A and B are shown apart, each in its own frame.
Chain A
Amino acid sequence: SQQGEEDPQALSIQEGENATMNCSYKTSINNLQWYRQNSGRGLVHLILIRSNEREKHSGRLRVTLDTSKKSSSLLITASRAADTASYFCATDAIYNNNDMRFGAGTRLTVKP
């Protein structure tokens, strides 16, 4: 079964708006990562947040982590058409950090 589950499955916004995607997971983790996948391409790492961190920023990305709720959110501010892609969260299992599990992803469409 998948460790991470993203919500919503699909999101459509206008350029300039903010996009928020959520990820929930089931078991304790060491860290949580967010990845982006353009259509027909491989995944690209965006940002990592460790289990002892609550918030992290990278450019227009803001990630939060709430380990008590087993959830994370990815905020993309001032979205651009080029941000159109699928976004995945990935978590390792605290019992086996060689086993990274990915959610089904959120498909983000940013309309120009």
Chain B
Amino acid sequence: NAGVTQTPKFQVLKTGQSMTLQCAQDMNHEYMSWYRQDPGMGLRLIHYSVGAGITDQGEVPNGYNVSRSTTEDFPLRLLSAAPSQTSVYFCASSYPTTFSGNTIYFGEGSWLTVV
């Protein structure tokens, strides 16, 4: 059981480039989300999804897009990378459709540097 798998682990981008962070879970969780973690700050919610075909914005959605075509996958797209998007990104999932009262399972993180 792999849990939540994120790729790539490390990435360096130039300003203006686009890229996709991949996230997959094999626990049949309905709920998936993306957070970013910056030094001295907690995790901030970027986008989340309560099921295939359904996505919603979190606290800091600007500059990011998501889609949820399958239950297993929830990719995060950076449209035009900016240095302010240098961060560690975590994908998470939970069952059932809401986080309330349910354990959140996190991936190992993706370290992104935008130069």
Report the contact-size class of chain B (Cβ under 8 Å from the partner).
20 to 34
Residues in A lying within 8 Å of B, measured CB to CB: 2, 4, 30-31, 33, 35, 40-45, 48, 50, 88, 90, 92, 97-105
Contacts of A45 in B (CB 8 A): 103-105
Contacts of A99 in B (CB 8 A): 45, 48, 58-59, 99
- Mark each residue of chain B from 27 to 44: 1 if its CB lies under 8 Å from any CB of chain A, else 0: 000010101000011111
Q: Which residue of A lies closest to B49 (CB)?
A: A98
A100 to B35, CA, bound (A): 10
Contacts of B108 in A (CB 8 A): 41-42
Is B98 positioned at the interface, with any CB of A under 8 Å from its CB?
A: yes
- Mark each residue of chain B from 89 to 103: 1 if its CB lies under 8 Å from any CB of chain A, else 0: 010100000111101
Asked, given contacts A31-B100, A42-B90, A103-B42, whether A98 binds B56 with beta carbons under 8 Å apart, the answer is yes
**Main SS class of interface, A:** strand
19 CB-based A-B contacts, threshold 8 Å: A2-B41, A2-B42, A33-B103, A42-B4, A42-B90, A43-B90, A43-B92, A45-B105, A88-B42, A98-B48, A98-B98, A99-B48, A99-B59, A100-B33, A101-B42, A102-B42, A102-B43, A102-B44, A104-B41
Contacts of B59 in A (CB 8 A): 99, 101
Contacts of B42 in A (CB 8 A): 2, 4, 88, 101-105
Contacts of A30 in B (CB 8 A): 100-101
Contacts of B40 in A (CB 8 A): 104
